[in-house]
Amino acid sequence: METFQYWSASDLDDLEQRYRVNLVNSLSGFKSANLIGTIDPAGVTNLAIVSSVVHLGASPPLIAFINRPDTVERHTLDNLAATGWFTVNQVNVDCWQQAHQTSARYPRAVSEFEPTGLTAEFSETCPAPYVAESRLRYACQVVEEQRLAVNGTVMVIGRIAELQIAGGAVGRDGYVDIEALGTVAVSGLDSYHRTRRLGRLSYAKPGAPARRID
């Protein structure tokens, strides 16, 4: 019998602010680590690490990410409003520390590519920059933005317009072995993890336990 720590709603309200931020950021479970690349009309590039990219649908191919309320300066949201394009670049074991550094508050005129040493790469499809160090990356056009009534958070929805994956990672059924690509996971605000596969399971059906398919 395990012992549990317990918090009521008012216990959570009473926590010291920084403690609560760390605690609540741990509750969703492991999160994705992606760099969002954008560009402003003057050609200044921007990179921002986000842990909130989620799958929305495959037909058409859609993803979404959450941006904090734009009550402070939000270079990514401003660039999206101006250009309508962004790239998503999975963070891997070889660039996770540089990726984290993009969360520092650089002035608007500074591209995060410079101080972090990450490399911008461009395609003919998308004006926003890719991250050359990423092994799975794609370009999106903004199709919808939702401001959530509850706390002013903005959800950006993008349609995938171009996809690039380092060779050998895509299986015959379309599954991408992102573990083999060295993609990392995040917990809380600041902890980075690599992964070890437990297994792939077949499509679940009533009456029969799912079997291993890896």
Residues numbered 21-50 forming contacts with its own copies, rule: CB under 8 A: 21-34
Nearby residues of 101 by Cβ (< 8 Å), 6 or more positions away? 112, 115, 116
Residue closer to its own copies by CB (options 83, 164) is: 164
Applying the rule CB under 8 A, the residues between 73 and 132 that interact with its own copies are 88, 90-91, 93, 96-97, 100-106, 110, 115, 125
Q: What does the alpha-carbon distance between residue 133 and residue 147 come to, in Å, rounded to a whole number? A: 32
Instruction: Tokens for 125, please give them.
Output: 């499809």
One residue of 44, 56, 83, 122 binding its own copies per CB under 8 A: 56
Q: In terms of DSSP bridges, do strands 85-90 and 31-32 run parallel, antiparallel, or are they unpaired?
A: unpaired
Gap between the Cα atoms of 36 and 89, Å rounded: 7
Q: Rank residues 44 and 161 by Cβ distance to its own copies and give the closer one.
A: 161
Measured from the CB atom, the residue of 41 and 94 that comes closer to its own copies is: 94
CB atoms within 10 A of CB 180: 12
Sites for its own copies among residues 143-202 (CB under 8 A):
143-144, 146, 148-151, 153, 155, 157, 159-167, 170-171, 173-176, 178-179, 183-185, 187-202
Q: What are phi and psi of 110, to 5 degrees?
A: -95, 125
With CB under 8 A as the contact rule, the residue among 42, 43, 59, 109 that binds its own copies is 59
